[in-house]
């Protein structure tokens, strides 16, 4: 399925050309997440692009944890990232690396830069730095420390490393051009002082390299050929080249090429780590793996499959144009993948009681039903039919709208795999709420018999009231309110209080055997996945995605 639809894209065109012109004779990519959170669907595009490209060219791909900021990074995120990548079905055949593995090497290169007058220790305060940087339209100006002697730079940088200077008191900067039209080239920081504990190197270091310095050199150390990243790094590319070109004598010939592509945006989805973190930390969701979260662990818990996600990434293509993909495409991919993979079963989410007036109290009929309508190899299971059943409350209307092919007074409807029944009357409580629907069963219409062959408008799913299990259905909606009314509000205020609706319903006994993670299609209501919150007495099922529903769509457009 991988790369099934992606016939070409501008990156592969560029690589083809590189190979043809012998700029490179192999392809080696890397996926460099920062371990400061869990991977989300947005990372997935970068992930699939780097892993998929390596695979297409029979090349290698490295996993590199870009851990140059000790203040944000944690080991359990590293583990989570590796677990997610494996879950997707990828493996880093080029090896596992950490930017922190290169601290020593990077330090040596930094010293070499100082020796060649390409870097200096600056003692401007952060505020002064900003001021000296200039603006988008005005050039910056040189720091008074810019031309201090090499020996002094060497001594100061060493002292920085030895912890002799306070955080923020000095930094190492590349000496490029304070008047450069590209702000990234105005003497960018290479090292800052941070007395923080690093998840891998502990307190060994108190100076840490910046992304712009560490990343290109890490690529070079690992002999990466194509460094595929997102568009916001496009104007860092000159810097990327600068660091590499000025380190060539310290490298063994490797010269990676950075190519940028547009990142994934999805409708009704926030992908900023900051917001996801806020949701977790404020307890608005149950954790990084909450089924509402666009994280891979969240999508996985909800029931999305790796195949569906990878197919989605293939379908959205790769380009440099900013875009926003309709979430419906992801849902389509999930449905398409699950369609031929999971068994069907019946569960009523919003139950209403139906009683049959012409059915004896103790009479029970039993049916053998297919687990999948198009795949006999999925086997069968049995269901029991008795005097009382539950149907979906929305499948009954006392005064039906037009084209309502469901239950209403005087009309016949088929109960899936059982009988054709007719609604005779309803019982209401003192407030006028329907508490029971009275039906008659057409005894000649038993499923499988000749009498069952006649056509009736609708077929409903149901469960036997005396032979079913209670369960909790979690219906998942958009995690934030994204309508015009909420557009300008703070993220927290935009959290959708109805993002997860819990319903108590009844399911057929067949589903008692489901294990956490098992997926089913609940007939007519959608695909569901058993959640880890399940208990022995109350199984919990997340709705992965609903079925396509042309009836409710038609209803909506009629009402407009």
Among 336, 355, 518, 533, binds RNA (CB under 7 A): 336
Question: What are the beta bridge partners of residue 370?
Answer: 380
CA-wise closest residue to 470 among 366, 540, 552, 521: 540
Residue 548 φ/ψ, nearest 5 degrees: -60, 140
CB of 192 to RNA, least distance (A): 4
Q: How many CB atoms lie within 10 A of CB 547?
A: 14
User: Is 508 tagged catalytic?
Assistant: no
Alpha helices in 340-482 (DSSP H): none
The contact pattern for RNA, residues 226-265, with x = CB under 7 A and - = no contact, is -----xxxxxx-------------------------x---
3-state class (DSSP) for residue 22: coil
Note whether 185 and 176 are within 8 A (CB).
yes
**Interaction of residue 543 with RNA, rule CB under 7 A:** no
218 scored as a contact of RNA (CB under 7 A): no
Which listed range, 4-12, 112-120, 247-255, 507-515, lies at the site for RNA (CB under 7 A)?
4-12
Q: How far is the CB of 74 from RNA (least distance, A)?
A: 13
Site for RNA in 281-310 (CB under 7 A): none
- Taking the CA atoms of residue 121, residue 125, residue 128 and residue 132 in that order, the dihedral angle to the nearest 10 degrees is 10
Q: Among residues 105, 148, 263, 446, which one is catalytic?
A: 263
Residue with smaller CB distance to RNA, 82 or 286:
82
| Least Å from the CB of residue 1 to RNA | 13
Q: What are phi and psi of 381, to 5 degrees?
A: -145, 170
From the CB of 408, what's the least distance to RNA, in Å? 10
- Verify whether residue 2 is a known catalytic residue: no
Least distance (Å) between residue 537 CB and RNA: 28
* Listed ranges 19-27, 299-307, 313-321, 534-542: which one lies at the site for RNA (CB under 7 A): 313-321
Q: Does the annotation mark 403 as catalytic?
A: no
Rounded-to-10 torsion of CA 500, 506, 509, 513? 10
Indicate which single residue of 1, 4, 13, 498 sits in contact with RNA (rule: CB under 7 A). Answer: 13
Helix (H/G/I), strand (E/B), else coil: 173: strand
Toward RNA, which CB reaches closer, 256 or 290? 256
**Residue list 459-518, contact with RNA (CB under 7 A):** 459, 461
**Comparing C-alpha atoms, which of 196, 146, 149, 150 is closest to residue 171?**
146
Q: Can you spell out the DSSP letters for 72-136?
A: T--HHHHHHHHHHHHHHT---TTEEEEGGGGHHHHHHHHHHHHHTTSEEEE---HHHHHHHH--S
Tell which positions 97-156 bind RNA, by CB under 7 A: 124-126, 129-130, 133, 135-137
What residues from 66 to 95 belong to the interface with RNA (CB under 7 A)? 66, 68-69, 72
Q: Taking the complex as a whole, how short is the minimal distance between the CB of residue 72 and RNA, in angstroms?
A: 6
Active site residues: 34, 263, 273
């Amino acid at each position: 399925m991988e790369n099934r639809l992606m016939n070409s894209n501008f990156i592969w065109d560029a690589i083809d050309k590189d190979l043809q012109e012998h700029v490179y004779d192999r392809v080696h990519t890397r996926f460099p997440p920062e371990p400061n959170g869990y991977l989300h669907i947005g990372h997935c595009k970068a992930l699939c692009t780097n892993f998929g490209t390596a695979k297409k060219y029979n090349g290698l791909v490295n996993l590199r944890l870009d851990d140059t900021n000790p203040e944000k990074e944690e080991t359990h995120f590293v583990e989570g990232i590796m677990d997610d990548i494996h879950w997707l079905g990828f493996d880093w055949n080029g090896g596992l690396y950490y930017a922190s593995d290169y601290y020593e090497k990077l330090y040596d290169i930094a010293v070499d830069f100082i020796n060649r007058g390409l870097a200096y220790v600056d003692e401007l305060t952060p505020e002064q730095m900003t001021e000296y940087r200039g603006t988008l339209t005005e050039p910056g100006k040189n720091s008074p420390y810019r031309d201090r002697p090499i020996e002094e730079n060497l001594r100061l940088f060493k002292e920085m490393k030895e912890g002799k200077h306070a955080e923020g008191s000095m930094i190492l900067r590349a000496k490029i051009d304070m008047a450069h039209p590209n702000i990234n080239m105005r003497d960018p920081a290479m090292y800052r002082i941070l007395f923080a504990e690093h998840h891998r190197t502990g307190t060994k270091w108190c100076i840490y390299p910046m992304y712009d310095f560490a990343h290109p050199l890490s690529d070079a150390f690992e002999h990466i050929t194509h460094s595929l990243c997102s568009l916001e790094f496009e104007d860092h590319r000159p810097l990327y080249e600068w660091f590499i070109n000025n380190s060539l004598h310290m490298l063994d010939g490797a010269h990676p090429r950075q190519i940028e592509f547009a990142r994934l945006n999805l409708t009704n989805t926030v992908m900023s780590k900051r917001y996801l973190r806020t949701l977790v930390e404020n307890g608005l969701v149950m954790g990084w793996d909450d089924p509402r979260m666009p994280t891979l662990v969240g999508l996985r818990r909800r029931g999305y499959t790796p195949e569906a996600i990878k197919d989605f990434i293939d379908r959205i293509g790769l380009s440099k144009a900013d875009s926003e993909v309709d979430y419906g495409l992801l849902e389509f991919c999930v449905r398409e993948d699950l369609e031929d993979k999971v068994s069907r079963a019946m569960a009523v989410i919003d139950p209403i009681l139906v009683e049959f007036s012409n059915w004896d109290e103790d009479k029970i009929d039993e049916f053998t039903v297919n687990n999948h309508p198009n795949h006999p190899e999925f086997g069968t299971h049995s269901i029991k039919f008795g005097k009382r059943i539950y149907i979906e409350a929305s499948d009954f209307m006392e005064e039906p709208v037009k084209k309502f092919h469901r239950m209403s007074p005087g009309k016949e409807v088929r109960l899936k795999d059982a009988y054709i029944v007719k609604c005779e009357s309803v019982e209401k409580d003192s407030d006028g709420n329907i508490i029971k629907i009275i039906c008659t069963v057409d005894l000649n219409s038993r499923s499988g018999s000749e009498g069952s062959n006649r056509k009736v408008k609708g077929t409903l799913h149901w469960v036997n009231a005396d032979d079913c299990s209670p369960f909790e259905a979690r219906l998942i909606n958009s995690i934030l309110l994204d309508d015009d009314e909420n557009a300008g509000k703070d993220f927290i205020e935009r959290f959708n209080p109805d993002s997860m609706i819990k319903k108590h319903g009844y399911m057929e006994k067949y589903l008692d055997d489901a294990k956490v993670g098992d997926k089913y299609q609940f007939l007519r209501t959608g695909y569901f996945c058993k959640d880890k919150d399940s208990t022995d007495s109350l199984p919990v099922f997340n709705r992965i995605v609903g079925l396509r529903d042309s009836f409710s769509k038609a209803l909506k457009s009629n009402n407009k």
